[in-house]
Structure 1
Amino acid sequence: MTRILHVLDHSLPMHSGYTFRTRAILRAQMGRGWEVRGITGRRHSAAGPQAETVDGLTFHRTPGEPAVGNAVLREWRDIAAHADAIDALVRQWRPDVIHAHSPVLNAMAAQRVAKRHGIPMIYEIRAFWEDAAVGNGTGTEGSPRYWLTRQLETHAVRAADAVAVICEGLRGDLIARGIDPAKIIVSPNGVDMDQFGAPVPRDPALTAKLGLEGADVVGFIGSFYDYEGLDDLIAAMPRLVRARPRAKLLLVGGGPVEQALRDQALASPFTDHIVFVGRVPHDQVENYYAQVDVLAYPRKAMRLTDLVTPLKPLEAMAQGRLVAASSVGGHRELIEDGVTGTLFAPDDPAAIAASIAGLFADRGMWDDRRAVARAFVERDRNWSSNILRYEPVYQRLLARPDKVRAVA
């Protein structure tokens, strides 16, 4: 039986788009009859034992807190600690393939171990680390650190036996760096339809609690980062409410810019049309999707959003919700304007308001739009079928004539 060791930044029981994609991959691989485990680095911050089972999945932890001090030295120490923990697990469990997931620190740690033991390694990129740092406000495009991180990313890709990316934008960028296209597969974001594909009915009690009775509800459910463009969504509300007086905005989640968004909403002349819920347990998220008519994703135009496809619009489609999103590259890979969703110009509150108002004015097409979007997810973005993209890569790596099993 094939054993796959996934090298991760963090995992369940922490909740993020990263952990939910990981869960979907591991669950689907187990469904194929493969043995899978994960090992996380020091940035996994949830308390727990060194090895634990969460949602039926086994995860091992790299011991110790993240190193302190100079950023470069800190990261090298964390890589070394992660590599030591991976090495110990490899000696104990003897995986056939190491599957490292971004950020690049994980690939660097995993490559040390893979080379030492003659185990093939695939590196999966969900976003380039340098661009993610710009997106979350901890880095600057064009800075020396940005340049160095980009060089490390390119080196890790060249050293990997195979590379997976989540979208065509990332694949195109790697090819432009000189990476052989034959080395790269696209494993797009998907939805676990067994877990998330059965929409629940709207709960009238929750509707009343949120003050949404009779409202045209626009919603966002996810993490509050600056690049998500939620400030533009709040700025669009005066125009939207003037066009649709019953419109309300439901914001579910939290993150680095939450307080700034709350302050902005309080200063809005239509503050009573904006509802903040905060973070909710993952097993309750479906109840909030059921409250929303149109899920809005107003991501700002920048390199990160042009290259990377998000997960949330797919979840909304699976839940039978209408989707409206900015026309950045990552959204254009997921959403066909006028077919599976509605696209509007990024960084433009007026465009947001006009697009969403137009959706509420044309309810006659809602059922067809929802059905087409859900069918797209079931056919092209369902993890039970997406997982098949990995299988030929694993088989090719395991069939390498130079593969050596040197685990002591």
Structure 2
Amino acid sequence: MTRVLHVLDHSLPMHSGYTFRTRAILKAQAAMGFEVRGVTGLRHTAGEGAVEEADGLLFHRTAGRASGFAGLREWREIGIFAQGIERAVREWRPDILHAHSPALCGQAALRVARRHGIPLVYEIRAFWEDAAVGNGTGTEGSLKYRLTRGLESHVVARADAVVTICEGLKADLVARGTDARRVTVMPNGVDLTLFGKPLPRDPELARALGFEVDGRPCPVIGFIGSFYDYEGIDVLIDAMALLAERQPDARLLLVGGGPCEAALRERAAASPAADAIRFIGRVPHHEVDRYYALADIMAYPRKRSRLTDLVTPLKPLEAMAQGKLVAASDVGGHRELVTHGTTGVLFAPDDPRACAATLAEMLEHRGRWDDYREAGLQHVRAQHDWAANAARYRDVYQMVSPVAAGNGLGVAA
């Protein structure tokens, strides 16, 4: 049976899009017959002990702390993380190392892979230099930006196989000189055992939030996710005042948190539509479905940037799996997920008026809602179900590992 050690920035029990994708990958691979574990770096901040179980999965933890000025600190972090990977390799003896971005994970794994002669698969979920620009912690073209990009290219060139989550990231790597045949696209997916059975609307919760007028349910626009600037939640807040001109009973439901939360609350309080906007804050993952059930339309107004044009988000797929209508800005990452007029609708990014007009059109044409819902759900089942998509990893592992090729592509002999 092939053993795969996943090298990770962080993992469960921490909650993030990163950890949920990791959970889905490991669970799906285990169901296919692989033995899987993870090893996390210094940025994992939850849990104790050298090895920890979370949701039935085992993770080796790397302890330590890196200090120094920028650049030197990250290099030291790579060294400490490599030591943690080394310990996990000596204890468990995996057949494949599967490192996931950022490039710090890839570089640490590369050191250990070459030392032990273990094949390395490197998976890119986003270019982290662009993510830093998007969340306000970096500047495009800065020294740190260029160093991060250079390290990523170094790891990609030396890995035995490369995986990306979308065509946008693959195209960028190919433009840098990477052979397209070395890159496999493993699209974002949904674990339909978790998201495939939507909850009914909770009328008491709806009333408590003021989502009824004269005993009638209000139309609800929802956003569930992290509050970063690139998500465009400020655009959505501004759009609500315009939407009220055509849909005066419409409400906006905002679930989540992040660095922009305080500024967004101030913006909402100053809006003419302030009474229609509800901030819920962060909620436990097991309660998210209750809030999905309140929304008619899930809105994703991402701003146009290099990050949003290249990277596909997970949330629109979760919304489709929940049977929700999807309205998203017309950026590259969304165009890979949403077929305009079929599985959802796209509107011009960075434009509150375009956002409001699209939402109003959807609310005024309820006769199409069932078609959108059905098309969205079928799209997720056909293209983004982890139980099916994870099978592509077999081909990647077979390509790099004689062990995987020799025991039925990762299934126990």
In the alignment, does 2:10 pair up with 1:7? no
Q: What letter corresponds to residue 197 of structure 2 in structure 1?
A: A
Q: What letter corresponds to residue 146 of structure 1 in structure 2?
A: Y
In the alignment, does 2:56 pair up with 1:56? yes
Post-superposition shift, 1:398?
A: 1.1
The counterpart of 1:336, out of the listed 335, 339, 363, is 339
Instruction: State the secondary structure of the residue aligned to 2:245.
Output: helix
In the alignment, does 2:254 pair up with 1:262? no
Post-superposition shift, 1:323?
A: 0.2
Q: 1:17 maps to which residue?
A: 17
Instruction: State the secondary structure of the residue aligned to 1:390.
Output: helix
Q: 2:396 maps to which residue?
A: 393
Instruction: State the secondary structure of the residue aligned to 1:78.
Output: helix
Q: 1:211 maps to which residue?
A: 210
Whole-Å Cα distance in 2 between the matches of residues 310 and 139 of structure 1? Answer: 20
Post-superposition shift, 1:219?
A: 0.6
Instruction: State the secondary structure of the residue aligned to 2:5.
Output: strand
Q: 1:405 maps to which residue?
A: none
Q: 1:27 maps to which residue?
A: 27
Superposition map of 1:9-408 within 5 A: 9-65=9-65, 67-213=66-212, 214-399=217-402
Instruction: State the secondary structure of the residue aligned to 2:349.
Output: coil
Unaligned runs of 5+ in 1: 402-408
Q: What letter corresponds to residue 181 of structure 2 in structure 1?
A: A
Aligned residues of 2:2 and 2:403 also touching (Cα < 8 A)? no
Unaligned runs of 5+ in 2: 405-413
Q: 2:407 maps to which residue?
A: none
Q: What letter corresponds to residue 24 of structure 1 in structure 2?
A: A
Post-superposition shift, 1:248?
A: 0.5
Instruction: State the secondary structure of the residue aligned to 1:250.
Output: strand
The total of aligned residue pairs comes to: 400
Instruction: State the secondary structure of the residue aligned to 1:43.
Output: coil
Post-superposition shift, 1:69?
A: 3.0
Aligned residues of 2:119 and 2:400 also touching (Cα < 8 A)? yes
Q: What letter corresponds to residue 297 of structure 1 in structure 2?
A: Y
Instruction: State the secondary structure of the residue aligned to 1:71.
Output: coil
Aligned residues of 2:222 and 2:297 also touching (Cα < 8 A)? yes
Post-superposition shift, 1:269?
A: 1.4
Instruction: State the secondary structure of the residue aligned to 1:60.
Output: strand
1:248-269 residue CA offsets vs partner (Å, 9 max, x unmatched)? 1000000010000001001111
Post-superposition shift, 1:47?
A: 3.5
Bigger shift: residues 44-53 or 101-110: 44-53
Whole-Å Cα distance in 2 between the matches of residues 175 and 400 of structure 1? Answer: 29
Q: 1:404 maps to which residue?
A: none
Instruction: State the secondary structure of the residue aligned to 2:225.
Output: strand
Aligned residues of 2:201 and 2:290 also touching (Cα < 8 A)? yes
After TM superposition, where is structure 1 displaced by more than 2 Å over at least 4 residues in a row?
47-50
1:163-189 residue CA offsets vs partner (Å, 9 max, x unmatched)? 000000000000000000110000000
Q: What letter corresponds to residue 386 of structure 1 in structure 2?
A: N
Whole-Å Cα distance in 2 between the matches of residues 152 and 52 of structure 1? Answer: 30
Q: What letter corresponds to residue 191 of structure 1 in structure 2?
A: V
Please give the TM-score of this superposition, normalised by the length of structure 2.
0.96
Whole-Å Cα distance in 2 between the matches of residues 12 and 399 of structure 1? Answer: 31
Q: What letter corresponds to residue 272 of structure 1 in structure 2?
A: D
Instruction: State the secondary structure of the residue aligned to 2:244.
Output: helix
Instruction: State the secondary structure of the residue aligned to 1:116.
Output: helix
Whole-Å Cα distance in 1 between the matches of residues 254 and 71 of structure 2? Answer: 37
Q: What letter corresponds to residue 352 of structure 1 in structure 2?
A: C
Post-superposition shift, 1:36?
A: 0.3
Post-superposition shift, 1:400?
A: 8.8
Whole-Å Cα distance in 1 between the matches of residues 366 and 48 of structure 2? Answer: 48
Q: What letter corresponds to residue 9 of structure 1 in structure 2?
A: D
1:192-225 residue CA offsets vs partner (Å, 9 max, x unmatched)? 0011111110111111121112211001001000
Instruction: State the secondary structure of the residue aligned to 1:339.
Output: coil
Please give the TM-score of this superposition, normalised by the length of structure 1.
0.97
Whole-Å Cα distance in 2 between the matches of residues 47 and 183 of structure 1? Answer: 36
Whole-Å Cα distance in 2 between the matches of residues 389 and 400 of structure 1? Answer: 17
Whole-Å Cα distance in 2 between the matches of residues 137 and 62 of structure 1? Answer: 28
Whole-Å Cα distance in 2 between the matches of residues 334 and 225 of structure 1? Answer: 20
1:222-264 residue CA offsets vs partner (Å, 9 max, x unmatched)? 1000000000000111100111001110000000100000010
Q: 2:410 maps to which residue?
A: none
Aligned residues of 2:221 and 2:251 also touching (Cα < 8 A)? yes
Cα root mean square deviation, aligned: 1.1
Q: What letter corresponds to residue 188 of structure 2 in structure 1?
A: N
Post-superposition shift, 1:50?
A: 2.3
Whole-Å Cα distance in 2 between the matches of residues 269 and 296 of structure 1? Answer: 20
